[in-house]
Structure 1
């Protein structure tokens, strides 16, 4: 580690990669550290959602809208810079949210109205209009909302492209286990400790995802980020057009916003370029327990077949799970930690990390370089009360962390 970078980013998932790309684009020399291969943790276990449809008006929605605007710009720019190395599988497919009961229809229509007032393109559909967009949707659909802004990206490919840009600009991506920071006069960060020695740098970015609490604690500035587990089913390939958009039921938004630790499931269905269908979703706070539970898989599959009856006849090839970085107040952490000058955080996005990554990287780079931020950073500050309340689940180390 002879090179002296301006910034060390700890964590090579989609958020860490986006931060590293934005910082290198601003002219800084960046090194990215991870104890495993890039995007091997949470990013590899995600569906690649770039959503505005599931967020109520507020700070996270503003960040999501900025990220949705930024993602295609980033895709085009890196394709021009990297050529064939920038394969994101970007798909601006749009989303459809379906309600099957009167109560859900009323709630969904009111939610969509609030989103429209906040700048989201949310179009109310009659059942017949919904069936034109999704012919295999359940005939129990009472009302639906079309969200043209929803999109999808392949998270491992996206992270790889972002990191390729960092390398091309003089940075590096290294396999190393970070265990804290070194500090100089005034307590300011002067480097990051690793199993390969100390990497001297001007600032360190904690982009460790579900393992951010462990790293932040080692740096002397603990934040309460907890692992929240989710499971996804993958079907055998289906005929083209079986599922045309990102489709989920009206219960999904409530599950996303809930802070309950117990298992919650809601139906999310979308196709991939390979022809398979990804089916979710589940949420539960069980620490770093990675056991695949049959009852969870059954509940996800049952609900998916209710929303898309055609999927009841499609075999499931595999299931995979991952841990998402959950913040108690459901907002990411983006910015410098006032307790340790030079320590920055970019974490706590839970299941929205892929979608929010582009704007997170830009916001962090704006703040670190002193540029005027495009998004108000105040709601994401690291010293807000919800993050400073430690709990036992935030102190559980896990060997797969960055």
Structure 2
């Protein structure tokens, strides 16, 4: 079994395959390549998923339910704790108009999803009580709290996945960019300047490199880059009991991550003063204590986005045994990828949770 792409998505799938007893190898490109795994917040986000697509909410929610066992097993097998915590997430609204709009959207979410959706609208006093000694900004009118959401430490998770793959007999090779894929008599051969490898099954999970590789196994998929900028502060006393949606989280060691922007700028992964300044101002407006905290590092990364923003799980009809996997929420869906995808890839039936995310939905949409 060969997996092209060694980010969190590819590593989660490889871990699940190796745990099922499959012989797995990962081929990854250069460290200097655009990598979404280097530019994420580590959020396991459920409460904001699937407003216009309930299947996506159910997919994300199913992964959240699998995360506790996933994290425990990974820690037991490797000794690396991904710092998973299903503590919930706070939303802060600035001004009465923003608060009213947020409350209306949460109510509509709840109406569409039903009993599985848990999200409480809170006034300013309730939010202040939850945040304890962290003072809210003067213009924060209210917000909400959802216990559906959690977080993990992305670098620990990634290290744990690679360690677990190797413990199960798998391997990963860096600086092995795949340029060509051939298929003959049920065997896929991937080639690069480094040589070639062959296997009867192939998984393409190469992020922004997916479209070119997928076309070589008869799958047409569009993936565009979306830039996200973020920053991390010096270490401070543990003071933020909950992550704040779309804005900040405090890591176990005390640093605070602020971000993430969402920008359509093509293949430009540079940071910009204007965006970083905007992120900092939004954070300070909501939580003024951040004004005295020093920013230590800023960076940007390009994340893959499909045409409609939802995952793609597709096996090639022309070349059975070749699979294309791409998504925007590799951390949220990691537990589900580890559990459900290996059974399908190894020749089993595609789980009902995955069925809505084949490429047929995009072809049907373009035809209407």
Q: Is the TM value for this pair above 0.5? A: yes
Confirm or deny: 8 A CA contact 1:137 1:308 kept in the other structure. yes
- Matched residue, 2:177: 177
Is 2:118 aligned against 1:121? yes
Moved more, 91-100 or 68-77: 91-100
Quote the Cα distance in structure 2 between the aligned partners of 1:189 and 1:311. Answer: 56
- Matched residue, 1:337: 316
Q: How does 1:288-303 map to 2 (within 5 A)?
A: 288-303=267-282
Confirm or deny: 8 A CA contact 1:39 1:159 kept in the other structure. no
Quote the Cα distance in structure 2 between the aligned partners of 1:269 and 1:163. Answer: 27
Quote the Cα distance in structure 2 between the aligned partners of 1:142 and 1:314. Answer: 24
Confirm or deny: 8 A CA contact 2:59 2:354 kept in the other structure. no
Quote the Cα distance in structure 2 between the aligned partners of 1:223 and 1:308. Answer: 41
Q: How far apart are 1:95 and its partner, in Å?
A: 0.4
Q: How far apart are 1:189 and its partner, in Å?
A: 4.9
Secondary structure of the residue aligned to 1:178 is coil
- Matched residue, 1:366: 343
Q: How far apart are 1:48 and its partner, in Å?
A: 0.8
- Matched residue, 2:188: 190
Q: How far apart are 1:370 and its partner, in Å?
A: 4.2
- Matched residue, 2:155: 156
Equivalent of 1:229 in 227, 236, 242 = 227
Is 2:75 aligned against 1:79? yes
Equivalent of 1:355 in 305, 311, 332 = 332
Confirm or deny: 8 A CA contact 1:39 1:156 kept in the other structure. no
Q: How far apart are 1:383 and its partner, in Å?
A: 4.2
Equivalent of 1:209 in 207, 210, 216 = 207
- Matched residue, 1:258: none
Secondary structure of the residue aligned to 1:166 is helix
| Structure 1 runs not aligned, ≥5 long | 1-6, 249-266, 390-402
> Cα deviations across residues 23-73 of structure 1 (Å, max 9, x unaligned)?
122221111111235998221221111111221341221111111111221
Secondary structure of the residue aligned to 2:179 is strand
Quote the Cα distance in structure 2 between the aligned partners of 1:118 and 1:142. Answer: 27
Quote the Cα distance in structure 2 between the aligned partners of 1:90 and 1:131. Answer: 25
Quote the Cα distance in structure 2 between the aligned partners of 1:39 and 1:157. Answer: 20
Quote the Cα distance in structure 1 between the aligned partners of 2:70 and 2:227. Answer: 29
Quote the Cα distance in structure 2 between the aligned partners of 1:285 and 1:388. Answer: 22
For these two proteins, the number of residue pairs brought into alignment is 358
Distance 1:347 1:189, change over 3 A: farther
Equivalent of 1:88 in 82, 89, 96 = 82
Alignment RMSD (CA, Å) = 2.4
Distance 1:366 1:108, change over 3 A: farther
Secondary structure of the residue aligned to 1:282 is coil
- Matched residue, 2:18: 24
Quote the Cα distance in structure 2 between the aligned partners of 1:236 and 1:166. Answer: 33
Secondary structure of the residue aligned to 2:238 is coil
Q: How far apart are 1:15 and its partner, in Å?
A: 0.7
Secondary structure of the residue aligned to 2:259 is strand
Quote the Cα distance in structure 1 between the aligned partners of 2:305 and 2:103. Answer: 28
Equivalent of 1:268 in 207, 222, 247 = 247
Moved more, 173-182 or 29-38: 29-38
| Structure 2 runs not aligned, ≥5 long | none
- Matched residue, 1:263: none
Distance 1:198 1:180, change over 3 A: same
Confirm or deny: 8 A CA contact 2:218 2:317 kept in the other structure. no
Quote the Cα distance in structure 1 between the aligned partners of 2:21 and 2:365. Answer: 33
Confirm or deny: 8 A CA contact 2:261 2:279 kept in the other structure. yes
TM-score scaled by length of structure 2: 0.89
